[in-house]
Amino acid sequence: MPIRLSPASSMAVALALLASATPVLAQSGAAGLPYDARRGVFSFSSGLEGSLPAVVQVTTLGQSRGPSSNAADPKPYASGSGVIVDAAEGLVITNNHVVEGGRKFTVDLTDGRLFDAVLVGADKATDIAVLRITPDGRPLNLKQVQTVDSDTLRTGDLAFAVGYPLGLDQTLTMGVISGLNRSGLGDAVEDYIQTDAAVNSGNSGGPLLDSRGRLIGINTSILSGGLGGGNDGIAFAVPTRIMLYVADQLKKNGEVKRGATGAIFGSLNAERARDLHLGIVRGAVVADVAPGSPAERAGLRHNDVITRIQGRPVANAGSVNATIGIAAPGSDLSVSYLRGGREATTSLAVETPADQPVIVGAQSVLAYGATLRDQDGGAQVTAVSAGSPAARAELTAGDVITAIAGAPVADSRAAAIALQGASGSVEATVLRNGEALNLTLSL
């Protein structure tokens, strides 16, 4: 389900601006205004109507948890939205969290037809999943949405969210693009579009459209300050730049095959910038570089500050991880960085990850997908890679590992040695907010 939003003022402001245009311009179309002369109203319907039949409701069915449930009869337990991107093949894109754990899936079309669907693949790191509608002998006759490159978006563009929120039928809301390249919301491949178009529970997996009805992103999460978890005007969508790569990988392989660089990145903040004597607070700091890795061969070092990657500005570590996360193994990325106040550039190779669950670097340890640094009384988790064994075990940044398999560990290297000697699953004792927890790490 999403995390939360609210846009009431956006619609009013947009309509007020349109209404202030002179009648001559509106009637002549010289300003390109969406004016329906026949009805005498401003409307975006002509651009959007062709895309709305491609927006579907997705229902996920699984084993009922009731005391008298029949295990062979899956029951609905999750619902969200989706969008048809390939009518010929019946491919629907939605969110991973909408379909996660499901045994069966159904797709409800706007014309009232209901189809079963099968899961082609899902990617937890980007929260993207692909379903294929099964025709069951009936002609599909589907509509698909047109997709546009999300890199062409600008803050202030109009945006429309479509989906099935809060048990309602298909619903359209309008807002603007509030920001681009948002990240830092969790341990994932993040480069979100932020919008104030109203998004609520049930909108997950539905499309974010531009004013011409073209797909620019998949609505994924919202932020809410209220106890009820409602719309507060801040929603996030996975941009088509990431969505298209992930969907193509899922279609071809059933999973996303990601490369690695051997570098561990942290986000630059005001405190870190002062320590490094920098006059900027946006960027990604190289926390460590694994020996013999592509990052080491590229010349990157501890405390280098990445400012651009593939020509895109870097806001924080999420910007770098998002670019690496959709780079195929074997590709090279152009990187600009600061070292000692001077800018330099390098080419960073992305390689197929080595099958090493534990890598000991000069400054930190990468174990089971978690970055560990020395902390009094243990090894502190400073970052967790999305989809990794550490993420599946629910390790989070800030946790301090104090014991592995019941044996105390004094620092990150002691933790590395204990994990290198483990086989199968191993229990880690962690301190989180003063409370001791036992988590199971499995490769």
Q: Which residues are catalytic?
A: 97, 127, 204
Q: Which residues pair with residue 173 across a beta bridge?
A: 161
Q: What distance in Å separates the CA atoms of residue 433 and residue 238, rounded to the nearest whole number?
A: 31
CB-CB contact of 406 with 350 (8 Å): no
If you search the block for the tokens 């409701």, which residue do you land on?
A: 57
Q: ∠ CA(316), CA(95), CA(282), 5° rounding?
A: 5
> Other CB atoms closer than 10 Å to residue 48's CB: what's the count?
20
Query: Which tokens hold the place of 300?
Result: 């990157």
- Which whole-number Å values give the CA distances from 75 to 64, 79, 97, 395, in the listed order? 5, 12, 17, 31
Number of H helices, E strands in the chain: 10, 28
In the chain, the amino acid numbered 336 is S
Alpha helices for 232-368 (secondary structure H): 240-253, 270-275, 294-297, 317-325
For 151, other C-beta atoms within 10 Å of its C-beta total 10
Whether 148 contacts 92, CB under 8 Å: no
d(CA 98, CA 2): 10
